[in-house]
Structure 1
Amino acid sequence: MTADVVPFTRKQPTLDPMLALTASGMNAVNTVILERMQSDIPLIPRLAGHLIAGGGKRLRPMLTLAGAALVGYEGTRHHKLAAAVEFIHTATLLHDDVVDGSELRRGKAAANIIFGNPATVLVGDFLFSRAFELMTEDGSLRVLKILSHASAVIAEGEVSQLTAQRQIETSEERYLHIIGAKTAALFAAASQISAVVAECSDEHERALEDYGRNLGVAFQLVDDAIDYDSSAAEMGKDQGDDFREGKMTLPVILAHARGNEEERKFWKDAVMGHRSDASDFDEAVRLIEKHHALEDTREKARHFAQRAIDAISIFPDSKARAAMTEAAHFAVARGY
Structure 2
Amino acid sequence: MSAQVVPLPRKQPSLAPILGLTATAMNSVNAIILDRMQSEIPLIPALAGHLISGGGKRMRPMLTLAGAELVGYNGARHHKLAAAVEFIHTATLLHDDVVDGSEQRRGKSAANIIFGNPATVLVGDFLFSRAFELMVEDGSLKVLKILSSASAIIAQGEVDQLTAQRKIETSEERYLHIIGAKTAALFAAASRISAVVAECSEAEERALEDYGRNLGIAFQLVDDAIDYDSASADMGKDQGDDFREGKMTLPVILAYARGNSEERKFWEEAIAGFRTEDEDLAHAIGLIRKHDAVVSTRERARHFAQRACDALSMFPDVAARQAMVEAAQFAVSRGY
Tell me whether 1:261 sits opposite 2:261 in the alignment: yes
Normalised by the size of structure 1, how large is the TM-score? Answer: 0.97
Aligned ranges for residues 1-336 of structure 1 at < 5 Å? 10-230=10-230, 234-336=234-336
Larger Rg: 2
Taking a change above 3 Å as real, the CA distance of residues 230 and 49 of structure 1, as seen in their structure-2 partners, is closer
> Alpha-carbon deviation of 1:10?
3.3
Mapped partners of 1:41, 1:23: distance in 2: 31
- The residue type paired with residue 207 of structure 1 is A
Mapped partners of 2:167, 2:298: distance in 1: 23
- The residue type paired with residue 93 of structure 1 is L
> Alpha-carbon deviation of 1:185?
0.1
Task: Decide whether the 8 Å contact of 2:107 with 2:233 is kept in 1.
Answer: no
Mapped partners of 2:26, 2:209: distance in 1: 21
Mapped partners of 1:13, 1:111: distance in 2: 32
Please give the secondary structure, in 2, of the residue aligned with 1:199.
coil
Mapped partners of 1:152, 1:101: distance in 2: 22
Q: How many residues are paired up?
A: 328
Mapped partners of 1:141, 1:99: distance in 2: 32
> Alpha-carbon deviation of 1:39?
0.2
Mapped partners of 2:233, 2:45: distance in 1: 31
Task: Decide whether the 8 Å contact of 2:217 with 2:301 is kept in 1.
Answer: yes
Task: Decide whether the 8 Å contact of 2:232 with 2:239 is kept in 1.
Answer: no
- The residue type paired with residue 246 of structure 2 is G
> Alpha-carbon deviation of 1:233?
7.1
Task: Decide whether the 8 Å contact of 2:88 with 2:131 is kept in 1.
Answer: yes
Please give the secondary structure, in 2, of the residue aligned with 1:234.
helix
Spell out, residue by residue over 1:251-287, the C-alpha distance to the aligned partner (whole angstroms, 9 max, x if none).
Answer: 0000000000000000000001100010000000000
Spell out, residue by residue over 1:224-264, the C-alpha distance to the aligned partner (whole angstroms, 9 max, x if none).
Answer: 00000047871111110000000000000000000000000
> Alpha-carbon deviation of 1:11?
1.3
Mapped partners of 1:98, 1:232: distance in 2: 19
Task: Decide whether the 8 Å contact of 1:226 with 1:232 is kept in 2.
Answer: no
Gaps in structure 1 of 5+ consecutive residues:
1-8
Taking a change above 3 Å as real, the CA distance of residues 233 and 13 of structure 1, as seen in their structure-2 partners, is farther
Root-mean-square deviation (Å): 0.9
Task: Decide whether the 8 Å contact of 2:73 with 2:198 is kept in 1.
Answer: yes
More moved, 230-239 vs 69-78: 230-239
Task: Decide whether the 8 Å contact of 2:190 with 2:212 is kept in 1.
Answer: yes
Runs of 4+ in structure 1 over 3 Å off: 230-233
Mapped partners of 1:178, 1:27: distance in 2: 33
Please give the secondary structure, in 1, of the residue aligned with 2:235.
coil
Mapped partners of 1:191, 1:230: distance in 2: 29
Gaps in structure 2 of 5+ consecutive residues:
1-8
Normalised by the size of structure 2, how large is the TM-score? Answer: 0.97
- Identity rate of aligned residues, in percent? 80
Task: Decide whether the 8 Å contact of 2:231 with 2:239 is kept in 1.
Answer: no
Task: Decide whether the 8 Å contact of 1:233 with 1:335 is kept in 2.
Answer: no
Mapped partners of 1:233, 1:49: distance in 2: 22
- The residue type paired with residue 122 of structure 1 is L
Task: Decide whether the 8 Å contact of 1:302 with 1:332 is kept in 2.
Answer: yes
